[in-house]
A and B are shown apart, each in its own frame.
Chain A
Amino acid sequence: MLSKRLIACLDVRDGHLAKSVKFVNTRNIGDPVAKAREYYLDGLDELVFYDITASSEGRRIMLDVVEAVARQVFIPLSVGGGVASVAHATDLRLAGAEKINVNSAAVRRPALIAECADAIGNQNIVLSMDIRRAPATADIPSGYEIVVNGGRQPTGLDARQWALEGERLGAGELVVNSIDADGTRAGYELRLTRMLSEAVRVPVVASGGAGEPAHLHEVLTEGKADAALVASMVHYGHYTVSGLKRHLHARGVKMRMSW
C-alpha cells in the first residue's frame, strides 16, 4: 500500500526562506537550499516551494533556487506561488520542479488548470486552495470559502465546489490550506480536510496549523489526508522530519521508514 507522505513547505521570498502567521508578518529564516538538503537527507517524502515574491527579479531568483535544489535533492519537488501561465509552469519544470501548484490565478481563470494539465500532465498539476470558514449560505453551502491573494480576498466560491471543479479540469492533487489554522500551531482543519478528501478521487494534502506530532496523526487518519504538509514545526528545529515520521509510524500510520 501507498505510504502517507510528509511534505515540508518552504516559503521563499527573494531567495530566502520566510514564514508567516496567518499569511502576514513574514520574516526570513534561512537558506532554502540548505534546508531542502537537510530535510531530504532526513527522509522527507516531498518538498514544496512557495514563491511569495512579487517582483520579476525575485521570480528569476526563484528559478535559480529550484535549480540548485533539484541538483541535490532527489525526491518530488513541487513549486507554486504566482503561476499564471503554461509558460511560467514550463520554466519551473525545466528548472527541476516536478509538480506545479496553481492557486489564485486558477480562481481568476479556471482554464489555466486544464491548460497546465495538457502541457505537463494531470499528475503534475496541483490545485492549491486557500480556504476560510464562512457562514453557510446558498452560495457557500459547505461553510468554507475560497480566498485569494494570500488569504486576504474572499471570492464567493464554495470550497467543496471549487475542489470538484478543479478535479474535473484536470488537477491531479489538491492542497487544502486552512487560512484559519495557518500559523496557529493548533492543528489542521480536520473537518474541512476530511470533507474535501471524501469529495474527490485525487490525493489531498492537508496544510496549515500543524504544531505537534499528534496533529499530523489526526489529519492522516480522521482527516483522511494522503499527505501532511509542515512548515514551522521543522523550520525552527522543534521537530525533525525523521522524528515526525517515527512518531506516525509508531502509531500505525504507514510511512516510508528507510531511505
Chain B
Amino acid sequence: MVVIVDYDAGNLMSVHRACRQVGLAAEIASEPERIRAAERIIFPGVGAAGSAMRSLCASGAARALVDAFHRGTPMLGICLGLQIALDRSEEADTTTLGMVPGEVRRFRLADPALKVPHMGWNAVRVVRSHPVLAGIEEGDEFYFVHAYYPRPSAGADVLAETSYEGPFCSALGRGNFVATQFHPEKSGRKGLDLLERFGAWDGTC
C-alpha cells in the first residue's frame, strides 16, 4: 500500500487517481503512525512552503516522514514535496525537512517575456540514471507549475535538469528518496509510467 501524505497542500486526488490508473493501491493519510508503517510513500503538494511545514509539524507528519526516510521506505516527492525535502526554502524563509542537502530559490529571470510561475510542458533531461526515471527519453516533456526551484548542494543528487532561461534541477534523488519538480500525475502516459516504476522500485539505486 502506498501512503499519499495529506498536509492540506493542494489536491491529492489527482495523484490518487493516477496511482489507481497504474494499479498502485494507495490511501491518503496524515497520521504519523500510518506514514511510519507505509510500504512506500508519495509526498505530493502544491502551495506555499511555510504553511505546508507548519501543517506537517503540527500533525507530527514531518517527524514521521524523516523517520521513514531513514528507515529506507521508498519515497517519491512531487513539486512542493520535493522542495520541502531540502534544508531550506527562500519562500517565506522556511526551514524544511533536510532529507537532502540544499535549498530552494525563486526564479529570477532576466528575460521579461518569460513568465513566473514556470507553467506548462518542458523537457526533462536525465543526467544520472535512476530506476524511477528509466524510460525517460531525450525530448520527453512533463507538466510543471512552480515559481521556486531546487538547488541540491551535492551534484550527485541531481537526477534530471530542465531549462528555463538556464538549467535547473527538475528531479533529484538520494538513497530511497526520489523527487520530481514536475507533476507525473498530470504528464500523460510518460508521467503514469514514472509512477508505475516508483511502485516497483525497491528504494535502492
User: Are B143's CB and A123's CB within 8 A?
Assistant: no
B interface: dominant SS: mixed
Give the contacting residue for B14; candidates A96, A172, A201; CB below 8 A. A96
Question: Known: A74-B191, A258-B139. Is A98-B117 also a contact (CB below 8 A)?
Answer: no
Chain B residues with Cβ under 8 A from A76's Cβ? Answer: 143, 186
Give the contacting residue for B164; candidates A2, A94, A124, A173; CB below 8 A. A2
Tell me if B90 counts as interface (CB < 8 A to partner A). Answer: no
Tell me if B47 counts as interface (CB < 8 A to partner A). Answer: yes
A8–B182 Cα gap in the complex (Å)?
A: 22
Tell me if A250 counts as interface (CB < 8 A to partner B). Answer: no
Q: Which of A75, A94, A201 has the most CB of B within 10 A?
A: A75
**How many residues of A sit at the interface, in one of the four size bands?**
20 to 34
User: Are B10's CB and A121's CB within 8 A?
Assistant: yes
User: Are A121's CB and B13's CB within 8 A?
Assistant: no
**How many residues of B sit at the interface, in one of the four size bands?**
20 to 34
Give the contacting residue for A74; candidates B13, B18, B46, B119; CB below 8 A. B18
A98–B191 Cα gap in the complex (Å)?
A: 16
- Residue-wise, chain A 119-136 has the 8 Å CB interface mask toward B (1 for contact) of 001111000000000000
A239–B4 Cα gap in the complex (Å)?
A: 40
User: Are A256's CB and B115's CB within 8 A?
Assistant: no
The number of A-B residue pairs with CB atoms under 8 Å apart is: 83
- Residue-wise, chain A 84-127 has the 8 Å CB interface mask toward B (1 for contact) of 00000000011010100000000000000000000001111000
User: Are B137's CB and A74's CB within 8 A?
Assistant: no
Tell me if B187 counts as interface (CB < 8 A to partner A). Answer: yes
User: Are A259's CB and B188's CB within 8 A?
Assistant: yes
Chain A residues with Cβ under 8 A from B145's Cβ? Answer: 123
User: Are B192's CB and A74's CB within 8 A?
Assistant: yes
Question: Known: A45-B121, A226-B115. Is A1-B163 also a contact (CB below 8 A)?
Answer: yes
User: Are A93's CB and B11's CB within 8 A?
Assistant: yes
Chain A residues with Cβ under 8 A from B192's Cβ? Answer: 74
Chain A residues with Cβ under 8 A from B25's Cβ? Answer: none
Tell me if A188 counts as interface (CB < 8 A to partner B). Answer: no
Residues of A223-259 at the interface with B, using a CB-CB cut-off of 8 Å, are 226-227, 256-259
A45–B122 Cα gap in the complex (Å)?
A: 11
Looking across the interface, which residue of chain B has its beta carbon closest to that of A227?
B120
Residues of B5-28 at the interface with A, using a CB-CB cut-off of 8 Å, are 10-11, 13-14, 17-18, 21
Tell me if B63 counts as interface (CB < 8 A to partner A). Answer: no
Give the contacting residue for A203; candidates B17, B120, B141, B189; CB below 8 A. B120
Taking Cβ atoms with an 8 Å cutoff, the residues of A that contact B are 1-3, 5, 40, 43, 45, 70-72, 74-76, 93-94, 96, 98, 121-124, 172-173, 201-203, 226-227, 256-259
Taking Cβ atoms with an 8 Å cutoff, the residues of B that contact A are 10-11, 13-14, 17-18, 21, 46-47, 112, 115-122, 137, 139-141, 143, 145, 163-164, 185-192
Would you give 23 A-B contacts (Cβ < 8 Å), ordered by A? A2-B121, A3-B121, A40-B188, A43-B188, A74-B17, A74-B21, A74-B192, A96-B13, A96-B14, A96-B17, A121-B46, A123-B46, A123-B145, A172-B117, A172-B119, A202-B115, A203-B119, A226-B115, A258-B139, A258-B140, A258-B190, A259-B188, A259-B190
